Amino acid sequence: DGGDVLKGVSFDATGGQMIALVGDTGAGKTTIVSLLSRFYDASSGVVMIDGRDVRDYKLHNLRRGIALVPQDVVVFAGTLRDNVTLGADVGDEEILSTLGAVCAEDLVRRFDEGLDHVMEEGGRTLSAGERQLLSFARALLANPPILILDEATASIDSETEAKIQTALAELTKGRTTIVIAHRLSTIRDADLILTLRSGEVI
């Protein structure tokens, strides 16, 4: 309808903090993280990283410093190795170490070919939890200063949740993290929890 999606939203996240965004669908949570990554620009107000307007960064450099872990993880047709590195030049030892750090080492053990196992497009042979751990490994390997978790644990079964929580602790260590979540377990360690309704922090 042309109205503002966000109304007077203002908050600071210092380095290494976890900020949680909660609220109903359409409250403005995803809009906030989309502005941070410049999927679109604010029509008023400013989004800043290290005291600098995000619009002043080259888009490539800005997005290289931000890792987005989505709810719906994309798995490509290709090897497990390719699905973790996403084309980056990384040795197997580092890949295996990264998978271990996010409790995803079972992905390698599960397949006879290990990292050379060819995944189906869409990752149909993986559970929702395994796909999520794969996305955590991608983010950890990228080693960004800023991490965005967009409903990253929404579809995880309770059996996998302990692994996910351990992986999250490793993944968020030393990073500024913005978490969109409905599960209390995901956000209980947050430094600040912002509840949004109709584009406002309530």
- What CA–CA distance (Å, rounded) separates 141 from 149? 15
Reported as a single tens digit per residue, the pLDDT across 64-87 is: 999 988 888 899 999 999 999 998
Reported as a single tens digit per residue, the pLDDT across 92-129 is: 999 999 999 998 898 899 888 999 999 988 888 888 88
Reported as a single tens digit per residue, the pLDDT across 131-177 is: 888 999 999 999 999 999 986 555 566 667 778 888 888 889 899 99
Is 185 exposed, middle or buried, given 0-12, 13-18 or 19+ CB atoms closer than 10 A?
middle
